[in-house]
Amino acid sequence: MNKPSRNRITLHVDMDSFFSSVEVRERPELKGLPVVVGSDPKGGSGRGVVSTCSYEAREFGIHSAMPISRAYKLCPDAIYLPVNMKLYKEVSENIMALMRIFADRFQQVSVDEAYLDVGSGIDDYESATLLARKIKDEVFRKQGLTCSVGVAPNKIIAKIASDFNKPDGLTVIRPEEVESFLFPLHVSKIPGIGKKTRPILEEMGIETVGQLATTDVQLLIARFGKSGIVMHQLANGI
């Protein structure tokens, strides 16, 4: 596989269950309870979907984008709260302003995640790991919220790494570890491979990132067009 550049280190910071974590921070009595942020379940007949849920709610099988009626059936005793986007944006702005201080280049990609290019000031993974811990500590100290961080040679690997050990995780992938980290993962761990693409890949006998990475790219192009090239590159950590 083509190895990522060794002289670049990227961090991906992803807040843990952001909306529900903010709600729990505002209402400490909810700590440890299954909290679901989204539409009103209306006794199981509500419409709409789950926006975010706490990790306690996930233990009941609830997840983001699930119909709220299904979530209610899985856990009718959960605490159901409406989306308070004004509050979440305010908290997000504070967190992003804090993180910008630590990066040469900063890219916010959603209300609860961002990429940090640490630049020439940090050129080894030990220093980058210490920086990631400092960011996590600062976010928790100043905002009372946990985040998970991926440290890697590029954005795609950093993003996958940040999701690897949630919540409150820190996963460091050095250039020489990219293949051993990515290849055993299920293809659904690659951003962009979702409900439509995953079954097609599985029909082709491709279930792991390693299998996708070593598949003839012409076969992928024949099935998916130009997106087949992109998938093949992402599977190879590019």
Give the residue numbers marked as catalytic. 113
ω into residue 167 within 30 of 0, thus cis?
A: yes
Cα separation, 80 vs 210, in Å, equals 40
Q: How many CB atoms lie within 10 A of CB 238?
A: 16
Which H, E and C letters describe 199-226, residue by residue?
Answer: HHHHHCCCCEHHHHHCCCHHHHHHHHCH
Instruction: Give the whole-angstrom CA distance, residue 91 versus residue 103.
Output: 19
Buried b (16+ CB within 10 A) or exposed e, 33-67: ebbbbbbebeeeebeeebbbbbebbbebebeeebb
